[in-house]
Amino acid sequence: MLPLILTVLVVVSLPYWLPRLVVALRMWIFARINGDEGVPIPGPLVDVRHFTRIYSDPAADGRSRGARLSDLFWYWLAPGPEVHQEHLEPGERYDDVARTTRRILARPKPDVERLAAACAAHTLDATRPGLVRLRDLMMPVWAELYYELVFQRPCPPEARDLIVGNANDVVTALKCCGLRHMGRRARLTAYLRERLDEIPHALPASLSREEQVFYLQGAFFNTAVVQMSEAMAHLLMAIAQHPEVQHRLASEPGDDAYLDRVINESLRRYPLFGIAHRITSKEITVDERTTLPAGSVLCFDYPAFHTTGYDDPARFDPDRWRTLPVREANHVPFGVTANRACPAKGVAPLTMRVVARETLRRFAVHSSAAHTRSMPNRGPCVLVEREDDRALRMRLALLRLRDRWEDVWRSLVQLGLGTYMVWDARRRRPAGRYFAEATR
Ligand code: HEM
């Protein structure tokens, strides 16, 4: 009898301890496979007070060459990681690409707002109340918006599906929830290759035609779509789990200042980057005792930075931004201006605001699922037509139970697939080989 009771207890309690154990094991395996080449910042060598200064140092300018970590990012971002803006080394090619991205994103504010509202309406008007995964719900919105910014014409359904397929495949692999499907990504490459001449923007002249295709696919139809979908999923999850915030947003729909504080708090609490890395091209002096030699791999830890120096940092509190000036806080959701900050740092919050309003105008959002920074559950959330929340309590109880049990299986999948992909990336060495060939 006792063994049976013990077995039942272990099985029933699985969701409460197994996922955490598996995450710890995964981190340990990743660290073992990747080695300990990085200097974590903040960390024992560089404390949090020096975070922004070291990040902004002109010698913290290497992107991919010389870090084993790069193989893993290139593996996940393929095809064409060597011309992805995020991973290009500084120089003329990088400048050319960065200029093009800025040009494509530069649209008058009212135009972008109108476009964001139209793309949101297109998806949301076809969405029925019920259980959704917020990241999945948001992807077509951003696929359509970024297609239109690049092609300057409405996005056909075929293109939207290819973009969503590509972006979803990249982010699923990045979270170790699935393997890469290069065929899915190649279908978008082929679509873009065929239509390259229809793009009204001048594309980087320093890239070949094939590289231009990869550049568009990487920056706009992967990074832009993934980042915006994740950022919106975090924002809506946070709103769904803070009824007082939702109530205020719904009852004062014109209060943009409050919505901006909610967005800011969401980006602080759930930064999209875990770690951004740089390779130093020269020595950097931290203080009289510490110098970082050239060739160091600096790992800027966003979650650690965003939770240091705040009162009760784990609390989701948009009103902290009423009195705390953003510039004085440890808050860099779009990176640091002096070192390759995000080119969408202007347009991203603006469009998030519009899409949040469009969503909250149609639905109340509720979620009892886990909300973590990496959000492997893709943000399960119940959409309820405003004024109709019958049976909501029961739905949320079931959702909590389902999310917990899904987490057991998912954490095991992440452990297995993550370990395989880290090993596969180390074996293929896409970045290492590329730079070895370039110097030959
Ligand atoms: C809320 C949404 C977004 C957030 C929070 C975000 C955050 C960031 C951060 C923190 C960095 C700097 C990483 C580093 O220092 O290495 C970055 C870089 C970048 N982001 Fe974003 N991003 C967002 C949306 C977008 C969008 C919509 C695009 C569209 C093109 C984009 C394109 C890029 C590119 C190309 C870089 C590399 C910049 C460079 O190295 O020159 N991001 N992003």
- State pTM to two decimals: 0.94
Is 308 domain-assigned?
A: no
- Ligand 1 centre and the CA of 240: distance in Å? 26
> Which structure tokens are listed for 37?
């080449």
Structural domain span for residue 72: 66-261+347-438
CA of residue 344 to ligand 1 center, whole Å:
6
What are the tens digits of pLDDT across the range 208-228?
999 999 999 999 999 999 999
**pLDDT score of 207 more than 60:** yes
pLDDT confidence of residue 328: 93
**What is the whole-number distance in angstroms between the Cα of residue 342 and the centre of ligand 1?**
4
User: What CATH number is given to the structural domain containing 197?
Assistant: 1.10.630.10
Query: Is the pLDDT confidence value at 392 over 90?
Result: no
Nearest atom within ligand 1 for CA of residue 98: 41
* Binding-site residues, ligand 1, Cβ < 6 A: 85-86, 98, 101, 219-220, 223-224, 227-228, 231, 267, 272-273, 276, 333-335, 340-344, 348
pLDDT of res. 387: 61
Ligand 1: which of 342, 353, 355 to mutate, judged by most atoms within 8 Å of the beta carbon? 342
Is the confidence at residue 183, as pLDDT, over 60?
Answer: yes
Across 142-151, 255-264, 269-278, 390-399, least confident range: 390-399
Beta bridge partners of 419: none
Looking at the domain assignment, is residue 289 inside a domain?
A: no
In this structure, are residues 262 and 245 in contact, taking their beta carbons and an 8 Å threshold?
A: yes
Closest CA to 218 of 184, 178, 167: 167
Q: Best of 87, 96, 227 to mutate for ligand 1, by most ligand atoms within 8 A of CB?
A: 227
Residue 240 belongs to some domain of the structure: yes
The pLDDT, as a whole number, for residue 351 is 98
Within the chain, how many helices (H) and strands (E) appear?
A: 17, 8
- Closest residue (by CA) to atom 37 of ligand 1? 86
Residue 209's pLDDT is what? 98
| Confidence class for position 238, pLDDT limits 50, 70, 90 | very high
Question: Which of 394, 300, 288 minimizes the C-alpha distance to 340?
Answer: 300
Instruction: Answer whether residue 59 is part of any domain.
Output: no
Q: Is the pLDDT of residue 246 over 90?
A: yes
Q: Of 33-42, 201-210, 396-405, where does the model show the most confidence?
A: 201-210
Q: What mean pLDDT comes out for the span 295-323?
A: 95
At residue 69, the pLDDT reads: 83
Band (13; pLDDT cuts 50, 70, 90): confident
> Which neighbouring-strand residues pair with 284?
292
206 — pLDDT class (breaks 50, 70, 90): very high
Atom of ligand 1 nearest to the CA of 278: 16
Average confidence (pLDDT) over 139-153: 98
Please give the DSSP secondary-structure letter assigned to residue 155: P
User: Higher pLDDT residue, 220 or 414?
Assistant: 220
CA 297–ligand 1 middle distance (angstroms): 20
In a domain, 41, yes or no: no
Report which of 332, 344, 299 is spatially closest to residue 73, judged by C-alpha positions: 299
- Separation of 334 CA from ligand 1 center, angstroms? 6
Which residue lies with its CA nearest to atom 43 of ligand 1? 342
Q: Can you tell me which atom of ligand 1 is nearest the CA of 341?
A: 12
- 97 falls in which pLDDT band (50, 70, 90)? very high
Residue type, 251: S
Q: Residue 332 CA: which ligand 1 atom is closest?
A: 10
Q: Is the pLDDT of residue 196 over 90?
A: yes
Distance CA 352, CA 371 (A): 19
Residue 335 lies in a domain: no
pLDDT-based confidence at 38, cuts 50/70/90? confident
Contact indicator for 50, 286 with CB cutoff of 8 Å: yes
Residue 11 alpha carbon to ligand 1 centre in Å: 42
* pLDDT above 80 (res 352): yes
Specify the ligand 1 atom closest to the Cα of 300.
15
Min mean pLDDT across 24-33, 235-244, 311-320 is at 24-33
- pLDDT value for 31: 59
Atom of ligand 1 nearest to the CA of 336: 15
> What residue's CA is closest to ligand 1, atom 27?
224
pLDDT bucket at 27, cuts 50 / 70 / 90? low
Q: How far is the CA of 348 from the centre of ligand 1 (A)?
A: 9
Q: How many domains is the chain built from?
A: 1
Closest C-alpha to ligand 1, atom 17 = 342
- Please give the distance, rounded to the nearest whole angstrom, from the Cα atom of residue 18 to the centre of ligand 1: 33
**pLDDT recorded at residue 356:** 98
Question: From ligand 1's centre to the CA of 101, what distance in Å?
Answer: 11
The answer to whether residue 188 sits within a structural domain is: yes
Read off the pLDDT band of 26 (50, 70, 90). low
86 alpha carbon to ligand 1 midpoint, in Å? 8
- Ligand 1 centre distance from Cα of residue 124 (Å): 26
Cα-to-centroid distance, 63 and ligand 1 (Å): 14
Percent of the chain whose predicted confidence (pLDDT) is above 90? 83
- What is d(CA 104, CA 207) in angstroms, rounded to the nearest whole number? 16
Q: Whose CA is nearest to atom 23 of ligand 1?
A: 227
Residue 88 CA, closest ligand 1 atom number: 40
Residue 323: the pLDDT is 94
Is residue 326 included in any domain, yes or no? no
Q: What is the mean pLDDT of residues 154-177?
A: 97
**Mean pLDDT across 304-327:** 96
In terms of Cβ atoms closer than 10 Å to its own Cβ (0-12, 13-18, 19+), residue 200 is exposed
